[in-house]
Amino acid sequence: MVGTGYLGATHAVCMSELGFTVVGLDVDEAKVASLGAGVVPFFEPGLEELLRKNLESGRLSFSTSFADAADADAHFLCVGTPQRADSPAADLSYLDSAMDQLLAAGLKPGALVIGKSTVPAGTAARLAARLAAEAPHAGLAWNPEFLREGFAVEDTLRPDRLVFGLPAADGGVAEAVLRTVYSQALEAGTPLVVADYATAELVKVAANSFLATKISFINAMAEVCEVAGADVTTLAKALSYDTRIGGRFLGAGVGFGGGCLPKDIRAFQARARELDAGHSVAFLAEVDAINLRRRARVVELATELVGGDVRGKRVAVFGAAFKPNSDDIRDSPALDVARALHAAGAIVTVCDPAAIPNAERRYPELRYDLNAVEAARDADVVLHLTEWAEFREVDPELVASVTRNPVIIDGRNTLDPVRWRQAGWTYHALGRPNV
């Protein structure tokens, strides 16, 4: 497993759990040491127990030396493809250097390199051409990964589908290796889609673009609901009974964040422009804009609710992770809003059950408190921006008793408005009338 970040670490543990002998490789010594000692360096329910169990089994190890995996039958590429600093395109430098190191360590005859990272269409063909030139005895397949943070183990052991992007002509060798790797899921009836490289690459970005579009669609409806005096949560519920639409990813609120959806829709547009198909995915620019507008709307509403100027006002932000059950703060809407209010002069205290260490390291200018009630002490306004179960269970009366002003914006539409209003709060939501 090349790369032991979110995807690679989970995959290494799960593959070992399935009975394979797995070496997790990473250039980051601290990560390798931590995983080797049985400590998952990020928050993922259920992963650490499984890591320890498999380390003990002897099937799983971690290393910084690619030579330790030179005799592997399958090499999974699980490195990150973040957004480039200088453009919306994907940064493929980790992928290219993973290939450099694999090739330097040597691949045994018949070995299969299996790309899992999310990449622009055309990347697999480029890497395959490189392999053909430098290690013609090895093959390449593209096998996109759809796991969600917070459900990574479940999604890896029981995926809802498998996609194999295969070379045009290798006599079925690559497919046979992948079928062995995924035999358990395939026997359990997991749907399999066999495709060419470009289709396999596109499935992943198309899936994430669709999910992002669905969220921005309902958030656009929330904007209209706000001016029409309608309720977007009721609207979404009514839409959800149409099985062609379905109810998932119709949660209106402060929008999507994380290490995948935002960067994937941007990289997709950049790649489509390169392929002269920019117009085909131009709508993704609007999806992105709607999403970012929701963050701005929370800042605007909070400013309005504290009297038009946040300078010196105290703001409590419930949430730092981009979504609950994660400590991932990449492109987190909650922290974006917190930082904007801080920049405008507010005194902002952020509460999160898991993401405070990451947030504190990255944004030391903000204040943090693990206790929601303490975070809300003397607050002029409370913002609920990541829907952790812990925040739903907070006692609104207790929080009201410590705030300066019991005003809350529910940026995820998951708190119970009746309960908060009964406790004396002025409850505002996104896309819902303020009754």
How is residue 147 annotated by DSSP?
P
Q: Of 379, 381, 406, 380, which Cα lies nearest the Cα of 395?
A: 406
Q: Does 149 bind ligand UDX (CB under 6 A)?
A: yes
Query: Judged by CB, which is closer to ligand UDX: 66, or 318?
Result: 318
Name the segment binding ligand UDX (CB under 6 A); options: 44-52, 99-107, 190-198, 255-263.
255-263
Q: Does 139 bind ligand UDX (CB under 6 A)?
A: no
CA distance 102 to 112: 11
Query: Judged by CB, which is closer to ligand UDX: 380, or 387?
Result: 387
# chain residues binding ligand UDX, by CB under 6 A:
19
Catalytic residue, chosen from 14, 78, 260, 351, is 260
Q: Does 431 bind ligand UDX (CB under 6 A)?
A: no
Q: What is the DSSP string of 316-385?
A: EEE--SSSSS----TT-HHHHHHHHHHHTT-EEEEE-SS-HHHHHHH-TTSEE-SSHHHHTTT-SEEEE-
CA distance 147 to 121: 20
Q: Does 284 bind ligand UDX (CB under 6 A)?
A: no
Q: Of 74, 55, 71, 66, which Cα lies nearest the Cα of 9?
A: 55
Torsion from C-alpha of 47, 324, 6, 261, nearest 10 degrees = 150
How far, CA to CA in Å, does 23 sit from each of 13, 142, 161?
10, 20, 25
Q: Does 261 bind ligand UDX (CB under 6 A)?
A: yes
Query: Within 213-232, which residues bind ligand UDX (CB under 6 A)?
Result: 215
Name the segment binding ligand UDX (CB under 6 A); options: 65-73, 81-89, 253-261, 421-429.
253-261
Binds ligand UDX by CB under 6 A, chosen from 43, 142, 217, 256 = 256
Q: Does 283 bind ligand UDX (CB under 6 A)?
A: no
263 assigned ligand-binding residue: yes
One character per residue 174-213, x = contact with ligand UDX (rule: CB under 6 A):
----------------------------------x--x--
- Find all residues with CB under 8 Å of 238, minimum gap 6, and list them: none
**Phi, psi torsion values for 22, nearest 5 degrees:** -125, 135
Q: Does 159 bind ligand UDX (CB under 6 A)?
A: no
Q: Does 319 bind ligand UDX (CB under 6 A)?
A: no
252 assigned ligand-binding residue: yes
260 is catalytic: yes
Name residue, tokens 């994430």. 208
Name residue, tokens 């309608």. 230
How far, CA to CA in Å, does 381 sit from each of 300, 390, 392?
12, 19, 17
Name the segment binding ligand UDX (CB under 6 A); options: 158-166, 172-180, 195-203, 256-264.
256-264
Site for ligand UDX, rule CB under 6 A: 146-149, 208, 211, 215, 249-251, 253, 255-258, 260-261, 322-323
Active-site annotation, residues: 260
Q: Which residues are annotated as a binding site for NAD(+)?
A: 26, 31, 81, 118, 149, 263, 330
